[in-house]
């Protein structure tokens, strides 16, 4: 049968127009505000959640000894370098004594001079004593006057006093020498404990003030992490909890540790709690002091409860909750939330039951009247 010419043309036109019209209808319905919002759903499951706290801190040592002079002075010599291990009471260096040695020699000379003076006083005293004794005998046989005896006795008393003065003077000078020796000894910089030289803050020739550290000594066995946790997410932080420490320089190598103590003083400015975390076994090589570390504290697992992912949480009218999906309808359910773990699983205390379907991901903001299109995965997002 021959198709009439006109009809064929009509068919061709229809073949061109109909797809165009269909495409137009599709475009109008599938884009813009009339288009349904693509969402993914998840079912509320009952599961146990092991909450964890995450914080950061720096590697510190519990004991650090700042060794320096007790009086202003100049560093004369230092015998140790950074990284040296030292014994307890080892001499690490010395301050410049300036004129102390000369003063000690002068003191020694003064002591000798005082000793000579003492001998002189002793000689005088022994002479005065014998003179006094002799005049006593002479007076007893009335061979001399009482006055002469009185003079001799007075001379003896003077000589006694002079001897005592000379003796005390010598003792004073010896004590002063001892004081100078002690001062001289105090110029030595001595390690109070065995440890590692962490810093050499001044080199020989440097003038330092009293109390300024010349050498900083630390006890490597007392290494800990000074960790900080945001107050809002530090619920349950307590001493004794197991922790993991990841040093910035050793990424991917978590080190076992535990919380030694939580500080009674929190940081009010940064709104953080402070805690000290100690390593179960000291990492080798020792991490440098001040290295940044990420700390994860594991809390005991909680019993099973309805759990959702935190990606499902929405805020509507100032209330936190989820969009429940039932029979193609959306309904907002405000929730009371419990603890969450670091993988984003949140326990729900009130508002959801196990088996409820909730919206997890959505392309746009949802409302109770939103048309939704349930998909397995939001298109265009690589997993």
Partner 1 sequence: MISLAGRDILHAWGKFVFTGIGLGLLIGVTLTMAGVYRGMVDDGKVLLDNSGADLWVVQKDTLGPYAESSSVPDDLWRSIRAMPGVAQAANVTYLTMQVGRGDEDVRAMVVGVAAGGPGVPGWPPQLVAGRQITRGHYEAVADAAAGVRLGDVLKIRRNRYTVVGLTRRMVSSAGDPMVFIPLKDAQEAQFLKDNDAILMQRRRTEANPAFNRPAVPDLLDAVIASQTSNSHVNAVLVRLRPGFAPQEVADPIRLWLRLTVYDRAQMEGILVGKLIATSARQIGMFLVILALVSAAIVAFLIYTLTMDKIREIAVLKLIGTRNRTIASMILQQALVLGLIGFVVGKITATFAAPLFPKYVLLVPFDTAMGLLAVMAICVLSSVVAIRVALRVDPAQAIG
Q: Which residues bind partner 1 (CB under 8 A)?
A: 6, 9-10, 12-13, 16-17, 20-21, 23-24, 27-28, 31-34, 54-56, 207-209, 212-213, 229-230, 232-233, 269-270, 294, 309-311, 313-315, 317-318, 320, 340-344, 360-366, 377-378, 380-383
**23 vs 85, which CB is nearer to partner 1?**
23
Question: Cβ of residue 239: shortest distance to partner 1, in angstroms?
Answer: 20
**28 vs 150, which CB is nearer to partner 1?**
28
**137 vs 315, which CB is nearer to partner 1?**
315
Q: Is 29 left (phi over 0), alpha (psi -120 to 50) or beta?
A: alpha
Question: Cβ of residue 371: shortest distance to partner 1, in angstroms?
Answer: 15
Question: Cβ of residue 298: shortest distance to partner 1, in angstroms?
Answer: 14
**21 vs 150, which CB is nearer to partner 1?**
21
**142 vs 380, which CB is nearer to partner 1?**
380
Question: Cβ of residue 56: shortest distance to partner 1, in angstroms?
Answer: 5
CA–CA dist 126, 109 (Å, integer):
25
Which tokens sit at 165?
Answer: 């003065």
Question: Cβ of residue 190: shortest distance to partner 1, in angstroms?
Answer: 21
Question: Cβ of residue 359: shortest distance to partner 1, in angstroms?
Answer: 9
CA–CA dist 381, 373 (Å, integer):
16
152 — phi, psi (to 5°)? -65, -40
CA–CA dist 309, 267 (Å, integer):
31
CB neighbours (10 Å) of residue 228?
Answer: 21
**56 vs 139, which CB is nearer to partner 1?**
56
**9 vs 171, which CB is nearer to partner 1?**
9
**26 vs 63, which CB is nearer to partner 1?**
26
Question: Cβ of residue 216: shortest distance to partner 1, in angstroms?
Answer: 12
Question: Cβ of residue 21: shortest distance to partner 1, in angstroms?
Answer: 7
Q: How far is CA 267 from CA 108, 166, 241, 271, in A?
A: 58, 65, 21, 6
């Amino acid at each position: 049968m021959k198709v009439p010419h006109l009809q064929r043309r009509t068919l061709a036109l229809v073949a061109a127009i109909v797809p165009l019209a269909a495409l137009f209808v599709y475009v109008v319905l599938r884009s813009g505000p009339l288009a349904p919002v693509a969402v993914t759903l998840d079912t509320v499951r009952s599961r146990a959640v092991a909450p964890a706290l995450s914080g950061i801190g720096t590697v510190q040592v519990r004991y650090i000894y700042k060794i320096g002079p007790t009086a202003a002075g100049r560093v004369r010599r230092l015998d140790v370098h950074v990284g040296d291990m030292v014994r307890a009471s080892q001499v690490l260096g010395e301050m410049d004594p300036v004129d102390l040695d000369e003063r000690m020699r002068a003191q020694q000379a003064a002591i000798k001079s005082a000793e000579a003076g003492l001998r002189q006083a002793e000689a005088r005293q022994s002479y005065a004593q014998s003179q006094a004794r002799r005049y006593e005998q002479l007076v007893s046989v009335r061979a001399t006057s009482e006055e002469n005896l009185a003079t001799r006795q007075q001379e003896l008393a003077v000589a006694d006093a002079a001897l005592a003065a000379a003796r005390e003077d010598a003792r004073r000078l010896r004590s002063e020498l001892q004081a100078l020796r002690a001062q001289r000894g105090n110029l030595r910089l001595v390690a109070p404990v065995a440890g590692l030289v962490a810093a050499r803050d001044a080199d020989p020739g440097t003038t330092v003030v009293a109390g300024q550290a010349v050498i900083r000594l630390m006890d490597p066995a007392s290494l800990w992490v000074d960790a900080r946790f945001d107050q809002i997410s530090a619920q349950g932080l307590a001493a004794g909890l197991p922790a993991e420490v990841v040093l910035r320089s050793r990424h991917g190598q978590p080190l076992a540790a535990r919380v030694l103590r939580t500080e009674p003083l929190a940081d009010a400015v940064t709104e953080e709690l402070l805690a000290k975390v100690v390593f179960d076994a000291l990492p080798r090589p020792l991490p440098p002091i001040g290295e940044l570390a990420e700390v994860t504290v594991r809390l005991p697992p909680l019993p099973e409860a309805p759990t959702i992912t935190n990606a499902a949480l929405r805020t509507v009218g100032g209330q936190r909750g989820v969009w429940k999906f039932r029979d193609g309808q959306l309904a907002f359910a405000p929730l009371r939330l419990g603890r969450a773990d670091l993988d984003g699983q949140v326990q729900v205390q009130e508002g959801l039951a196990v088996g409820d379907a909730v919206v997890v991901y959505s392309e746009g903001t949802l409302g109770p009247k939103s048309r939704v299109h349930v998909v397995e995965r939001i298109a265009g997002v690589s997993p």
